[in-house]
Amino acid sequence: MEKNKIEVKPLLQSMLSASKEVLKKEWKHVAPVAELQIKNIIHNLEQIAELKLNKRITEEQAKLHLTIQKESFKTILLSFEGIGIITAEKAINAALNTVKSTINKAIGWRLL
């Protein structure tokens, strides 16, 4: 590996694996968008490294930039987690509604 150069592919794979681990079942729903957003973050990380290498920012500033990128990535993962929970909630309530309508139908009047 060239010194101070970010290897994009392994980094992308490792961020994707981390995201898959967090999102588990929801992953298949969000994978394409997640991959795009992770690529954007990696592009930003490359730029931070470049600014630091060209001495346009200090190490301290580079660390602060990394904090912003890390927090941004965290927000993205939280969003996917929330959307996954909404999907699960909808599925559970749809199943409960099916049971309700089955019982109502069996009884012949609206009990539930």
Partner 1 sequence: MIINIRNFGLFSILVFLFSCAEVKLIQEYDAVSNHKINIIYDKATKFFVKLKRNIGLPENRFEKHIDFYDDLKSDIHILETRTKAIDKSAIVQKQINSLDIQIQTIEQLHKAGFKSKEEIELIQSAFDQTMTAILKLQVALKNKNNQ
What contacts 38, CB < 8 A, 6 or more positions away? 12, 15, 16, 19, 73, 76
Size of the site for partner 1 (CB under 8 A): 40
Closest CA to 12 of 37, 33, 29: 37
Phi, psi of 54 (to 5 degrees): -85, 10
For residue 53, the one-letter residue type is L
Pick the stretch among 9-17, 19-27, 68-76 that binds partner 1 (CB under 8 A): 68-76
- Is the CB of 5 or the CB of 74 nearer to partner 1? 74
18 scored as a contact of partner 1 (CB under 8 A): no
Among 8, 18, 53, 64, binds partner 1 (CB under 8 A): 64
15 scored as a contact of partner 1 (CB under 8 A): no
72 scored as a contact of partner 1 (CB under 8 A): yes
Among 75, 106, 108, 109, binds partner 1 (CB under 8 A): 75
Among 2, 56, 59, 106, binds partner 1 (CB under 8 A): 56
Among 19, 23, 26, 65, binds partner 1 (CB under 8 A): 65
Closest CA to 75 of 37, 49, 43: 37
Closest CA to 38 of 68, 70, 66, 62: 70
